[in-house]
Amino acid sequence: MAAAAIVLPPTPLTPPTYHRIISPSLSLPTNEALPVPVGLLACQRDPLLRELSTSVISCTLQNNPSQAEGAKSKKKASSTTAGTKEKTYEVILHDTVLFPEGGGQPSDTGVLRIEQGVELEVVEVRRVGGHAVHHVRAKDELLLAPGDKVTTILDEKGFSRRLDHMCMHTSQHLLSALLETHLELPTLSWALTTYPTPSYVELPRALTLEEIARIQSLAHTLAYEGRAVHVEVEPLAEDNRPGVATVASGRTVGKALPQDYTGGVKRTVVIDGVDRNPCCGTHLPSLSNLQLFLLPQTESLTRGATSTARLFFLCGPRLHVHLNSSHNLLTKTAGIMSCGAPDVPERVNQAVDERRRLDKRAEELEAELAKIVSAQLLVDPSNETVIKRHYHRNDEPSRALGFLQCIASSCLSSAEVSEKKYCFVLTSSPVSQTSTSVTSVLIVSPDEKLVKMVGDLLKSEMSVRGGGKGTRWSGKWVGVWKDAKEGKLVEEILSRV
């Protein structure tokens, strides 16, 4: 039997029931000479729409270009021929598939196709009052005129960005609703962080692991059920006019509208049987495939007398990135530990324990060796008034100064020589040295004046950086330490004091 041809399903479409104007007095403006207000834009009516033909209402040169853009243009103008410098226009269109920032959701980016297929980059869309203002990067001396036909496009890059924002934003509505309904926890604010880091909701308190598991399980059940999402739009009631309450980007506080909003419509995003929440964002038409992952720890925040907690979450493209990187980390670690992934925690534990045991053993051996070294240094065959010695060795840099301190302690505590005067300069260089290698230097003597004197000479004559108080002085010297040069210099300094 011949294999059946695989037919890919068509690109998902937004159901016609998604956008509902629920008031008979409100209708979609059709006059192409006027802009559709923010709240009724094509991107808000149909979040999966990628292209829309529309008309230009106005196009002006950006009056206040950003410093970066200004500097860039200036530099370009001075170094290249006229006409190649970048210009940014502010364009208001009748309608658009590009979402202006709002409700905690960042702006879309995309493309504006003008006549003869010329495509211009839309770097940002901002809401000004009730209008979406497109910031468009133009390459040539070009001005769009009112009435010009153009196409707004959510290109691949722009759609990936939007899809991520939609996944995170709709998940935030779902998460906040579940926290409020099942744990009576209001969302104080939320942040749609930069891709691909986890976003978060800020709550009055941290969640227990059991609560996190419960909320996640409830979210998954609703995703499997494929709960529908739709938007209800109505005229803005008098008591809901901007300015009634302060706006912020959280769910609870988001129940008010931005003070400068003049679009005149109120949008309510509804997750069937779960949540109703005023919001201007673009939301997916369904919870299906929207697996929410809550990071199993909360971050506590204290501001004055109040403390809150951040609960981090992931879904959609960010969850895939997180899974990939977590899997890669685990696989890599399993490879290093030569075991299967499930055995990694135990093997890492074993390695850490082993390391602690070895460190302890090394310290014990170093203490033993330090006693031998100090005893050798304190042997005084010539019966000098002050025994002066330079002792050099090669060690791993991480333990070098520690071991020199160990020798110094051993010298100072040596009971038999308490009567003797001595001054030792102990140095330790790495086994293989380069021009940036660090040699540890330690001076030890029961005579504090002698310590200071030798320290000052090492500083002034050998550029050793360091300092000390009392019976010890420690420092560092950078470069390749040679016995015949640096070693000799130390001995010569010691002979002078």
Angle, in degrees to the nearest 10, between helices 344-377 and 316-337: 50
Among 211-219, 276-284, 310-318, 388-396, which window interacts with Zn ion (CB under 5 A)?
A: 276-284
Q: Scanning residues 95 to 154, which ones bind Zn ion (CB under 5 A)?
A: 103
Between 174 and 441, CB nearer to Zn ion: 174
Closest contact distance (angstroms) between CB of 99 and Zn ion is 12
Q: Scanning residues 226 to 255, which ones bind Zn ion (CB under 5 A)?
A: none
**């769009």: which residue's tokens?**
144
Examine residue 285 and tell whether it contacts Zn ion (CB under 5 A): no
Please pick, from the candidates 279, 294, 438, 450, the single residue that binds Zn ion as defined by CB under 5 A.
279
Between 165 and 390, CB nearer to Zn ion: 165
Give the Å distances, CA to CA, from 288 to 91, 219, 223, 448: 36, 11, 5, 76
The H or E element that residue 149 is part of is strand 149-153
Please pick, from the candidates 35, 37, 281, 285, the single residue that binds Zn ion as defined by CB under 5 A.
281
Among 35-43, 228-236, 277-285, 316-324, which window interacts with Zn ion (CB under 5 A)?
A: 277-285
Between 38 and 279, CB nearer to Zn ion: 279
Residues for the chain: how many in total? 497
In 3D space, the residue among 175, 148, 157 whose CA is nearest the CA of residue 53 turns out to be 148
Between 39 and 103, CB nearer to Zn ion: 103
Among 184-192, 280-288, 304-312, 358-366, which window interacts with Zn ion (CB under 5 A)?
A: 280-288
Question: How far is C-alpha 474 from the chain's CA centre?
Answer: 39
Dist CA 425 CA 252 (whole Å): 68
Between 252 and 394, CB nearer to Zn ion: 252
Dist CA 122 CA 93 (whole Å): 13
Closest contact distance (angstroms) between CB of 271 and Zn ion is 11
Which DSSP string corresponds to 17-40?
A: TSEEE--TT------TTSPPPTTS
Between 98 and 229, CB nearer to Zn ion: 229
Between 136 and 222, CB nearer to Zn ion: 222
Between 106 and 281, CB nearer to Zn ion: 281
Q: Diameter of the chain by CA atoms?
A: 112
Angle 315-320-324 from CA coordinates, rounded to 5°: 145
Contact 187, 202 (CB under 8 A): yes
Closest contact distance (angstroms) between CB of 276 and Zn ion is 12
Closest contact distance (angstroms) between CB of 87 and Zn ion is 34
How many residues interact with Zn ion (rule CB under 5 A)? 3
In 3D space, the residue among 52, 51, 125, 50 whose CA is nearest the CA of residue 90 turns out to be 125
In 3D space, the residue among 276, 263, 269 whose CA is nearest the CA of residue 39 turns out to be 263
In 3D space, the residue among 76, 165, 178 whose CA is nearest the CA of residue 125 turns out to be 165
Among 275-283, 385-393, 400-408, 482-490, which window interacts with Zn ion (CB under 5 A)?
A: 275-283
Which residues, at least 6 apart from 458, have a Cβ–Cβ distance to it below 8 Å?
425, 441, 443, 464, 466, 475, 490, 493
Dist CA 482 CA 476 (whole Å): 15
Between 103 and 258, CB nearer to Zn ion: 103
Dist CA 273 CA 222 (whole Å): 10
Phi, psi (degrees; rounded to nearest 5) at 312: -90, 145
Between 255 and 399, CB nearer to Zn ion: 255
Closest contact distance (angstroms) between CB of 66 and Zn ion is 27
Closest contact distance (angstroms) between CB of 173 and Zn ion is 6
Among 116-124, 278-286, 317-325, 410-418, which window interacts with Zn ion (CB under 5 A)?
A: 278-286
Closest contact distance (angstroms) between CB of 104 and Zn ion is 6
Dist CA 177 CA 255 (whole Å): 13
Between 165 and 472, CB nearer to Zn ion: 165
Closest contact distance (angstroms) between CB of 257 and Zn ion is 12
Residue facing Zn ion at closest CB distance: 279
In 3D space, the residue among 457, 441, 446 whose CA is nearest the CA of residue 422 turns out to be 446
Closest contact distance (angstroms) between CB of 47 and Zn ion is 13
Q: Which x/- pattern, by CB under 5 A, does the window 27-66 give for Zn ion?
A: ----------------------------------------
Closest contact distance (angstroms) between CB of 262 and Zn ion is 20
Between 278 and 468, CB nearer to Zn ion: 278
Among 196-204, 221-229, 272-280, 294-302, which window interacts with Zn ion (CB under 5 A)?
A: 272-280
Contact 179, 201 (CB under 8 A): yes
- Please count the other Cβ atoms lying within 10 Å of the Cβ belonging to residue 264: 15
Closest contact distance (angstroms) between CB of 281 and Zn ion is 4
Closest contact distance (angstroms) between CB of 106 and Zn ion is 12
First-last CA distance in the chain: 100
Binding site for Zn ion (CB under 5 A): 103, 279, 281
